[in-house]
Amino acid sequence: MDGQEYVTWARVLTLISGLGWAAWLDHKYRRVPNQFWITWAGPAIFLWTLDIFLQGGEWYVLASASAVVAYASMSVIGRASLKDATRGSRLDQIVLLWYTLSLIGVGYGAYLHAQVDLLALMTGSAAPAETLWWTTIATALPILLFDMGWRVRLIHGGADAKALMWVTLVIPSWNAVPILYSSSMDSATVALPPALALMIWGGFVFLALPFIMIIRNLIAGNTTPLRLIWHAEMMPLARVADEHVWLLSELMEMPSGETVVHHRTRAPSRTPSAEELAQQLSKLAEHGAERVWVTRKYPLLVFLWPATALILLIGGPMAFLMPLLGI
């Protein structure tokens, strides 16, 4: 293998191990600390820098990549303040210098390559220097989308948005992915950025969840009520408070005055506080309930990690699905 191939497979290892660890943390604790992303940004940035060197990238390409990293870092370490920098904050001064040098690189790259033939760029026939700079600066687009999606609550979990930004740094373009069955990607004129493709594949993985839940509930004999078996499961009452679940079972007073255990189909619109949940569980226990219906709170990262297999096997979803649809 040449140096480029070593970098490619190192990226695959970084992607699988880093995202897998993050998914485990999110599943176990529903939190991935910022320090995790700071630590794992190290190998992502190192491999990207090495890749640019191996492709003969000039200083302004590295500075442009640095600008992308600087923007992504704001979701983890925050923004540097000019006010704090003028008051003597060494950290803010260093970060502002980082921003400035990165923007100089972006500006110089734009000066050199702004007049590019878009068709040549898309078909891969543009000059290598132009292609490298535009490919580098284009990684800012998915990071911008994930950042905005998080801030307007289209992506609810901060860990999910940061994970997708980190994936963008690990695999900034499809050239960084060793696709096993690449025929659909080879014939595609336009493909979604890898991180955005991973998010879509994660959605497809999520669609398999109802079938898994139905099989699990049928095997366990949990079939009443039938309307719950595709997305919920039964759990001992004593475990509910310690699990990341929404409680679906509740007490309901019937017109006859009798109190029965009712199982709602949908999760509550508002997550109850620990005190409210404890009160609900206490009432159910007093009524004699031992097992209740719950639906788990699945974080997006749990679905993104297995979706990496689809990225490595066949590439992006649009390039794979569009020929099947005759498009």
DSSP 9-70: HHHHHHHHHHHHHHHHHHHHHS---HHHHHHHHHHHHHHHHHHHHHTT--HHHHHHHHHHHH
Indicate whether 54 and 162 sit together in one domain.
Answer: yes
Indicate whether 228 and 99 sit together in one domain.
Answer: no
**Does residue 305 form part of some domain?**
no
Beta bridge partners of 249: 263
Q: Whole-angstrom Cα distance, residue 159 to residue 141?
A: 19
Question: Apex CA 319: angle with CA 183 and CA 311, to 5°?
Answer: 80
**Does residue 28 form part of some domain?**
yes
Indicate whether 35 and 96 sit together in one domain.
Answer: yes
**Does residue 27 form part of some domain?**
yes
Indicate whether 44 and 136 sit together in one domain.
Answer: yes
Indicate whether 172 and 229 sit together in one domain.
Answer: no
Say if CB 318 and CB 191 are below 8 A apart. Answer: yes
Axis-axis angle for helices 194-206, 317-324 (nearest 10): 60
Residue with tokens 């408070």: 241
Q: Residues in the chain with pLDDT < 70? A: 1, 189, 323-327
**Does residue 238 form part of some domain?**
yes
Indicate whether 27 and 97 sit together in one domain.
Answer: yes
Say if CB 30 and CB 156 are below 8 A apart. Answer: no
Indicate whether 12 and 78 sit together in one domain.
Answer: yes
Indicate whether 49 and 121 sit together in one domain.
Answer: yes
**Does residue 198 form part of some domain?**
no
Indicate whether 174 and 245 sit together in one domain.
Answer: no
**Does residue 226 form part of some domain?**
yes
**Does residue 82 form part of some domain?**
yes
Indicate whether 67 and 136 sit together in one domain.
Answer: yes
Report the domain count for the chain.
2
**Does residue 100 form part of some domain?**
yes
Indicate whether 28 and 172 sit together in one domain.
Answer: yes
Domain that holds residue 278: 220-296
Q: Whole-angstrom Cα distance, residue 21 to residue 209?
A: 21
Last residue of a domain, one of 151, 178, 205: 178
- What length is written for the chain? 327
Q: Whole-angstrom Cα distance, residue 69 to residue 59?
A: 15
Say if CB 229 and CB 218 are below 8 A apart. Answer: yes
Indicate whether 65 and 123 sit together in one domain.
Answer: yes
In 139-226, where does DSSP find H-type helix? Answer: 140-151, 158-170, 183-187, 194-206, 209-220
- pLDDT recorded at residue 10: 97
